[in-house]
Structure 1
Amino acid sequence: MRLLVGTDSVHTTAAICDYLEPRLAETDEVRVVATAEPGDGTAERDGREALNVAPVRLAAAGSVETEFRDGGTVQELLEAAAAVEADEIVIGASSADSEAAVGSTTRTLLERTSRPVVVVPVASLE
């Protein structure tokens, strides 16, 4: 199986790895993508740090590749999923709006892809 993982933080990557670790097979291919808008240094730093977690935590997979992309999150994830011909997209659920079930990125991704999307709960750091 080819998986595209979208992440924006170490915390999100850890939650996704907790979900994926028991499900991975040595034939699975995982591409982990972090994105940030150009000029957003904090988001870029967080994304790059998040990419360091995946290869260690997902060592049971046949391959784990990481990639940082500048640009809008949804478009970048869709392009990355197409490039690797992902069977599934895995992302973390987060929302700045405490009343929302998922954030705007997740909603937009769900609306714009025909690939299966797994939304992994990410516990609040509060």
Structure 2
Amino acid sequence: MKLSPLQTIVFIVILAGIAYGAYSATIDQLPDVSGTVVGNTTVNNSTNPTIGTVYLYDDTNNSSNTSVIIRKNTKIYKEDKNGKQTSVNMSSIKNGCKIDVYTVGDPTNTIPPQVISERIVIKAKK
């Protein structure tokens, strides 16, 4: 089967699109915010969707803090030294621990900025 030059170009573009799509779908998602926990609060109101807030010192920015809102549907995991993650609750987030936060939406334009967390990973100590 012989392809015309136009068919060859279309075929290459389609293959490149498939390769890029497969790559994009399988790469690990990078966290939106990473840093060290410098404080937290807990909300005890059972009707409130927010169960607490974590104040995070952004290690990559070195000049800002972020308020991370934790809701009832936020998934919290603790990572061991082998990279395996196990599900934990908010009480596992302690001052001084390093966390990665995957957020929903954009940060607010407040000081400090606030983000709503979808998933939090407590990093293993090195």
Q: TM-score, normalised by structure 2?
A: 0.26
Q: Which protein shows a greater Rg?
A: 2
Higher relative contact order (CA 8 A, sep 6+): 1
Q: Please, what TM-score do these two structures have when normalized by structure 1? A: 0.26
Structure number with the higher helix fraction is: 1
Which structure dedicates a bigger proportion of its chain to strand?
Answer: 2
